[in-house]
Amino acid sequence: MKEAEYKKLVKNLIYHDELYYEKADPVISDYEYDLLLRQAAEFERLHPGKIDPNSPTNRIADPLDAGFQKKAHRTPMLSLSNTYSPEEIQEFIDRVEKLLSKKEILFHVELKMDGIAVSVRYVRGRLVCALTRGNGEWGDDITSNLKTLRSLPLSLKGEEIPEDFEARGEVYLPIQRFEELNQEREEKGLPQWANPRNAAAGSLKLLDSREVRARKLKVLFYGVGQFAGFKNQHEVCLSLQKMGLPVAEKGHTALCRNLQEILDFADTIQNKRAHLPFEIDGIVIKVDALEEHQSLGMTGKSPRGSVAYKFTPEQEKSVIRAIILQLGRTGIVTPVAELEPTLLSGSTITRATLHNQEEIARKDIRVGDTVLIEKGGDVIPKVVSVVKSARPPCATPWSMPDTCPFCNAPLFDSVGEVAVRCMNEACPQVSLQRLIFYVSKQGMDIPFLGEKVVQRLFEAELFRSFPDLYRLSKESLQRLPQFQEKSIANLLCSIEKAKQPPLYRFILALGIKYVGKQTARALAKTAERIEDFYTMQKEDFLAIEGVGEKVADSLLTFFSQESNRAEIAELASLGVVPLPPHGSNEQTGLFAKKSFVLTGSLEGYTREEAREVIESHGGTVKSSVSKKVDYLLAGKDPGSKWEKARKQGVTILSEEEFHQLLKQKGKS
Ligand code: IVH
């Protein structure tokens, strides 16, 4: 390819980026786009001196650059205080008027994007650094990942580009993309994301920026790091746009002079909310004149000149098709409404919790009823009220069945609780829920074991007790039609990796009656090993913070039962050895006084996870290689750190060798 052709190709790619992202109207497929991109990359590989800095190939950064260094924000990234009612907005306006000793203040009102705040720095028009908000003072350097966003310009355009410029905005995942990704995750047996914001946050943390690119995140800018040179907020937005940065579209911002105008704007947006391609959780009201905004100063970590007005949760109508019972790991029975699929806050709702019999009676909820449902944040949707006028004549009041729908054992009212319980120790549903909890994030934290996968394994009788989990093998899993080679490898690896949780999570995972997270943490502080509890008396338990009579009795019963002790011993023989609480390991852990540097992409861990494992064994993780470093943990495609470590005589561990080390510890 000649240079002129290459230049044309780059222009063409930029044109397709614009169609894809700015106009949402691509004319070529992703595949065709990738072919063009590869041609450009090939030319660049052969002629590195002729690379066009705007070439979209620059977006596919070297995955090795993606280690997240902490960097200081040059201007802190603040947060916003919230208002929830017109009265509170009026109070904000009054306060601003009073402090500025002036009436008729102009406010720039914007959408409050529900994503992840980022700060992107351009020096002489070139993108040099992108940081997350972090704690406001320090953020993670996510430059390589952000460069993969096709709508983010690598160079600014226009004549008036400041020498050193920081744009601030929000990275988000469009709702449609969120649903596609969740679908893909479900098929792969990966845990679902609760909402697009979590998905965006998770995506930005990926180590391999090529994977980030595939997520198709977007970004929208609404501010600058330093106000220098700008008069007001609406001018800031215009300038950002002129420089080629994506900003809010027309109609998604407004200049308002008073409460009424702000509420009118909020109303218009609320009405559009369900049709927006991204999630918002309110609007942001900003004093438009930047000098005034600055002079108002801050309270805590929020500027006095801006405030968020949060929308109350969206509501939608649906129809109850049936009321079913869900059974939790402690035997508590919860009635759940099965609904006509309904779109609410960007996702399709098919179920809503009805809490308990009393709640159903209080709201008089019946099968066949049209109901208003609501979803707040990432909690399960709930039924707000019944539209009585739409009730079919045949609808009858609902009452709790007398027997468990899963094992037919009688259901009992729990003393002192509104809840109803299945007390059958052998109830299959309770067993299943105990296993689901055991592997969950709160318990042993095995990410490749979502609820559906546990259920499949349970039905295939491969996973009926905690120890069963560690007896799963490639051979046994291959017999199940739903398991592909890759998912088997992922599953087995994640089970292996999770064999040494902190002691408190192991205690929690065992599902001892009345032992929640706080109690588990308090218990773990008093022991080195789980077996230490076997010899404890009731008084010993009662001396532990937060442990009362009921909990002490339950602990005593649990730890004295032979079957429980046998199960714990069996788990230990399978390598499940919880780690004693932090602190003791610093001196005696497997990696005590040892320092690590990570490089390359690890198959079985994210960087954060690898760090957690090392630290939980008493080691430390450093960012750069020096003679003082003990180990370099090298994943696939290690970079310059590998060479440096070799030269400095640092021990290089492959992921496999690292595993082996951990395993040995498990056996000792
Ligand atoms: S201005 C003082 N404008 O909301 C903070 N923030 O709850 C300056 N956000 O961390 C932010 N949309 O991530 C601003 N139009 C908008 C926004 C917005 C979403 C986020 C931002 C901030 C958070 C505070």
Lowest mean pLDDT among 70-84, 421-435, 598-612: 598-612
Ligand 1 centroid from CA 148, angstroms: 22
Q: How much is the pLDDT for 38?
A: 80
Nearest to 169 by CA among 231, 214, 224, 92: 224
Listed in sequence order, the residues at least 6 apart from 481 whose beta carbon sits closer than 8 Å to its beta carbon are: none
Lowest mean pLDDT among 181-190, 253-262, 323-332, 452-461: 181-190
Q: What's the rounded Cα separation, in Å, for the pair 595 and 593?
A: 7
114 Cα nearest atom in ligand 1: 19
* Among protein residues, the one whose CA lies closest to atom 22 of ligand 1: 79
* Among protein residues, the one whose CA lies closest to atom 7 of ligand 1: 80
Q: What's the rounded Cα separation, in Å, for the pair 381 and 375?
A: 4
Higher-confidence residue: 186 or 563? 563
- Candidate ranges 25-29, 41-45, 432-436; pick with highest mean pLDDT: 432-436
Q: What's the rounded Cα separation, in Å, for the pair 237 and 497?
A: 47
Q: What's the rounded Cα separation, in Å, for the pair 27 and 30?
A: 10
Ligand 1 centroid from CA 217, angstroms: 18
Averaged pLDDT for residues 328-333: 87
Give the tens place of pLDDT for each residue, 478-534: 999 888 888 899 999 999 999 999 998 999 999 998 888 778 888 988 898 999 999
Ligand 1: which of 75, 113, 294 to mutate, most ligand atoms within 8 Å of CB? 113
Q: What's the rounded Cα separation, in Å, for the pair 288 and 285?
A: 9
Residue 310 DSSP symbol: E
Q: How much is the pLDDT for 585?
A: 61
Ligand 1 centroid from CA 237, angstroms: 14
DSSP string over 563-606: HHHHHHHHHHHTT--PBPPTTHHHHHSTTTT-EEEEESB-SS--
- Percent pLDDT > 90 in the chain is 54
Give the tens place of pLDDT for each residue, 62-96: 433 345 888 999 999 998 988 988 999 999 999 99
Please identify which residue in the block is written with the tokens 């904000």: 92
Q: List phi, psi (to 5°) of 153.
A: -70, 140
Alpha helices, DSSP H, located in 18-100: 30-46, 86-100
Ligand 1 centroid from CA 115, angstroms: 9
Please identify which residue in the block is written with the tokens 């995750």: 185
- Candidate ranges 23-37, 53-67, 311-325; pick with highest mean pLDDT: 311-325
Give the tens place of pLDDT for each residue, 532-542: 999 999 999 99
Q: How much is the pLDDT for 267?
A: 94
170 Cα nearest atom in ligand 1: 13
Contacts of residues 451-457 at CB distance under 8 Å and 24 or more positions apart, as own/partner, are 452/186, 452/189, 453/189, 453/491, 456/480, 456/482
SS3 526: coil
Ligand 1 centroid from CA 19, angstroms: 28
Ligand 1: which of 224, 284, 310 to mutate, most ligand atoms within 8 Å of CB? 284
Q: How much is the pLDDT for 168?
A: 97
- Percent pLDDT > 70 in the chain is 92
Q: How much is the pLDDT for 614?
A: 85
Judge whether residue 142 has pLDDT over 90.
yes
Mind spelling out the 3-state secondary structure of 398-417?
CCCCCECCCCCCEEEECCCC
Cα angle 416, 421, 425; round to 5: 125
Alpha helices, DSSP H, located in 308-425: 357-363
Q: How much is the pLDDT for 135?
A: 85
Which residues approach ligand 1 with their CB closer than 6 A?
Answer: 78-80, 110-113, 117, 133, 170, 222-223, 284, 303, 306, 308
Ligand 1: which of 77, 108, 112 to mutate, most ligand atoms within 8 Å of CB? 112
Ligand 1 centroid from CA 74, angstroms: 18
Ligand 1 centroid from CA 113, angstroms: 7
Instruction: Tell me the average pLDDT of the chain.
Output: 88
Query: In this structure, which amino acid lies at residue 269?
Result: I
- Please answer whether residues 636 and 652 qualify as being in contact, where contact means their C-beta atoms are separated by less than 8 angstroms: no
Judge whether residue 565 has pLDDT over 90.
yes
Averaged pLDDT for residues 119-134: 94
303 Cα nearest atom in ligand 1: 2
Listed in sequence order, the residues at least 6 apart from 217 whose beta carbon sits closer than 8 Å to its beta carbon are: 149, 171, 172, 173, 200, 203, 204
Averaged pLDDT for residues 25-47: 78
Q: List phi, psi (to 5°) of 398.
A: -95, 145
Q: How much is the pLDDT for 190?
A: 61
CB atoms closer than 10 angstroms to residue 653: 17
Mind spelling out the 3-state secondary structure of 251-304?
CCEEEECCHHHHHHHHHHHHHHHCCCCCCEEEEEEEECEHHHHHHHCEECCEEC
Adjacent-strand bridge partners of 410: 403
Q: How much is the pLDDT for 489?
A: 92
Strand 164-172 vs strand 116-123: parallel, antiparallel, or unpaired? antiparallel
Give the tens place of pLDDT for each residue, 279-310: 998 999 999 999 999 999 998 789 999 999 98
Q: How confident is the model at residue 315 (pLDDT cuts 50, 70, 90)?
A: confident
Active site residues: 112
Ligand 1 centroid from CA 9, angstroms: 37
Judge whether residue 187 has pLDDT over 70.
no
pTM of the model: 0.52
Residue 656 DSSP symbol: H
Q: How much is the pLDDT for 64?
A: 34
223 Cα nearest atom in ligand 1: 1
